[in-house]
Structure 1
C-alpha cells in the first residue's frame, strides 16, 4: 500500500486507537514497581505516541502532499529523469499516457460529463529532462461538437517538495476548474499538473543550472511543445498560462516574465521573488552573475524591458511572509506588463489559503488566454 493510500491512513488511525484503549485498559495491571511493570508502561507510552504521530503525519502528508511514495519519504528517490528520444516518423512522441482516472465530480465516471485526468510521462527533447505529470481534460474535450476545437492550457505547479497528486487531492484543481466552467465563470481549459522538482530531490527553482538540470528550458520549450503535439492545444503565448504556489508561484511568475511568447499569463500564489540558495538547491548559478540577476524578479523588472504578459500575485495581510515583497513587486511593474493581485485579510502559507484563491485565479487566467 502506498504512502498516500487511504488504507494506510485508516490502518494507522486504527492502531493509534487500539494502543490508546490498550494503554487505558492495561495501565492498572502495570501499576506495580517491578522492572517488568515499568518496562510495560514505557513500552505502551512509546507505542501509543508513535502510532498517534504516524497517524497525524500521514494525514498531514495527504493534506499537503509533501511526499508521494515511501521511497520519496526515506530519501531513496534520487535518480534523475532520463529521456528517451523518439522518432516521430515511427509514431512515437514526447508524451506517453500511462494511466487515466475520473474526476471527483457528479457524473465523473463519464469523460464527456466529468472530464478526465490522464497520468503522462513527458520527454524533454531539448532539456533532456523527463518528468511525470497529470493532465486534466475538461468534459468538452470529449464532446462531439468540440472535436475540432483547440483549448487553452495552464501548467499548474506545486511548491517544494510537493507532489503532483496534491494538486488533485489537496488543492482540487480539476474539481474547481470543472465547477468554474460549468458556472460560466471560465472557459474550458486543460491543466497540466506537476511539481517543479523535475530533477528530484534537488530544488532547482526553475533555473537552467550551469552543467546541471536545464529546468527553465524544460518548462519554457519542451513542456508546451510536448503537450501541444499530443493534445488539442495551441502553441502560442496566448494559448498558455502557468500557475503555482510557493516555489511553484515563483516559477510561474518567472516563466511568464522570461518567456512571454510562451506563457501569456502567470499566477504566483504566495510566491517569493528571488531564488533562494540553501541545502535543497545547491549552487544554482555557479558564479554566473547574469543568470543570478535574471532569477531575481525585482531586478528583472528594474533592468529589463517590460515583458508583454499578465501577472497575478497573491498574499495575505496577516499570516504570509511575502506581503511587503508583493506590494514592492506590484509597484515595479510597468506597461506593457499587466499585474493583478489577490490580498486576503489573513491566511497562512498553506493549502487552505490557496484553496480560497484558486477559483478566482482560474477565472483570471482563463480571461487572459484564448483557444486559438
Structure 2
C-alpha cells in the first residue's frame, strides 16, 4: 500500500482508535506498583501517541503530498539521474517514464490520454528540470494525427512537488473530464514546480550571476515542448497557470512575455517577488530588476499588451484580497482581466480544487490550436 493511499490512512486511524480504547480499558489493571505496570503504562501511552502522530502526518501528507512514496519519505529513492544531450542536435525533452490516468480505460492512451515524465533541458538558461506532460486522448487518435494542440504550463507553489499537480490538485483528470463534457478543448499540460534550482526559491527571476529561471519558463520550456510535441509555438497556443508562488510566476511570465503566452492565471497569487531567506539576493541591488518583478508596478509603468489574466482570491481566508482588487483595477486595454472571488477559502488545496475547473475552462477559451 502506497504512502498516500486511503487504505494506509484508514489503518493508521483505526490503530490510533484501538490503542486509545485499549489504554482506557487496561489502565486500571496497570495501576499497581513495580516495573511491569509502569512499563505497560508507558508502552500504551507511547504507542497511542505514535499512532495519533502517524495518523495526523499521513492525513497531512495525503492532502499536501510532501512525500510521494515510502522510499521518498525515508530517503531511499533509487531513480538515477538522466543525462540530457545539450548538443545542437540533441532533443530538449527526454521522456523517462509514463503513467496512466485513474479513469475508465486508463490503460489505453487513445481513450484516457497519458502522463509522461520528462526532463526538459533549457537551451538558453542551461537549466534542466523534471516535469510531467499530460497528453489528452485525442493526441493519440488517428483523426487528430496531423493536428496541433494548445498547451499550458502548470506550476505548483513553493517548494511543492510536480506530483501535487497530478495527485492532489488533479489537473490531468480535471482536464480529461472537462474535455469529455465539451467544456474545454483538448489541451496539453506541462506540469512542474517553480523550484528549478532547488532548494532556492528564485521567484521565476533571472538572478544576476545565478539561475536564469524567467528565461527557462518564458523561452526554453515552450520552445522545447513545441519541438517535442504537436503544440504550436505562437502566443495563442500557450497559457500559464499556477497556485501561490506558481500563480505569481504565471501572471508575471504572461505579462512580461506576451510574445510567448496569450494568457496567465494566478490562483491565490501574490503580485511582488518575495525576498527572504529562501530566495537569497535576487536583484543584487538593481532596483530596475526589482521593479520588473513587481506586477502592480508593471501595470502602472509598462504599455499594456494584448494579454488575458485571471486572478483568484476569497473574501475570507486569503491574504491577497486587497492586492488582487488593485491588480484588477490596474489592468488596461488591450489587456483583459477576469477574476474568481470565493466567499470563503484558505490558501490550500481544497480552495484550489474549487478554482481549477473554471480556470481550465477560462484558459481553454483564450487559446487556440492553430
What TM-score comes out, normalization by structure 2 length?
A: 0.92
Find the partner of 1:286 among 268, 284, 287: 284
Alignment of 1:61-80 (within 5 A): 61-68=61-68
User: For residues 16 and 179 of structure 1, what CA distance do their matches in structure 2 show?
Assistant: 37
Task: Give the superposition deviation at 1:38.
Answer: 3.2
Please state how far the C-alpha of 1:307 moved relative to its aligned partner: 2.6
Counterpart position of 2:136: 138
Q: Which deviations, in whole Å up to 9, do the C-alpha atoms of 1:319-358 show, x marking residues without a partner?
A: 1111111001111111121111111111111111111111
Give unpaired runs (5+ residues) of structure 1: none
Partner of 2:127: 129
SS at the partner of 1:191? Answer: strand
Query: Measured at CA, do residues 322 and 260 of structure 1 come closer, stay the same or move farther in structure 2, by a change above 3 Å?
Result: same
Deviations 1:115-163 (A, max 9, x none): 1111111111211111111111111000001000000000111111211
| Paired position in structure 1 for 2:48 | 48
> Against the structure 1 CA distance between its residues 301 and 72, is the aligned structure 2 distance closer, same or farther, given a 3 Å change threshold?
farther
SS in 1 for 2:264: strand
Provide, for residues 256-290 of structure 1, a one-character-per-residue CA deviation record: whole Å limited to 9, x for no partner.
01111111100000111111122222222221211
Paired residue secondary structure (2:361): helix
Residues 95-116 of structure 1: per-residue CA shift (max 9 Å, x gap): 1111111112222221111111
Kindly provide the CA deviation profile for residues 34-65 of structure 1, in whole angstroms up to 9, marking residues without a partner as x: 35433432332233212222222122112222
Alpha-carbon distance between aligned partners in 1 of 2:114 and 2:8, rounded to the nearest angstrom: 26
Written as runs of structure 1 = structure 2, the 5 A alignment for 1:89-168 is 89=89, 92-168=90-166
Alignment of 1:80-95 (within 5 A): 84-87=84-87, 89=89, 92-95=90-93
| Ranges in structure 2 where 5+ consecutive residues have no aligned partner | none
CA distance in 1, matches of 2:2, 2:119: 20
Q: Which residue is equivalent to 1:181?
A: 179
Provide the C-alpha distance between the structure 1 equivalents of 2:284 and 2:251, rounded to a whole number of angstroms: 23
Shift of the alpha carbon at 1:29?
A: 3.1
Aligned mates of 1:278, 1:43 — CA distance in 2: 43
What is the aligned partner in structure 2 of residue 334 from structure 1? 332
Contact 2:84 2:94 in 1 (8 A): no
Mapped contact 1:310–1:338 kept (Cα < 8 A): yes
Contact 1:310-1:337 within 8 A present in 2 as well? yes
The aligned counterpart of 2:297 is 299
Answering whether residue 55 of structure 2 is matched by residue 59 of structure 1, we say: no
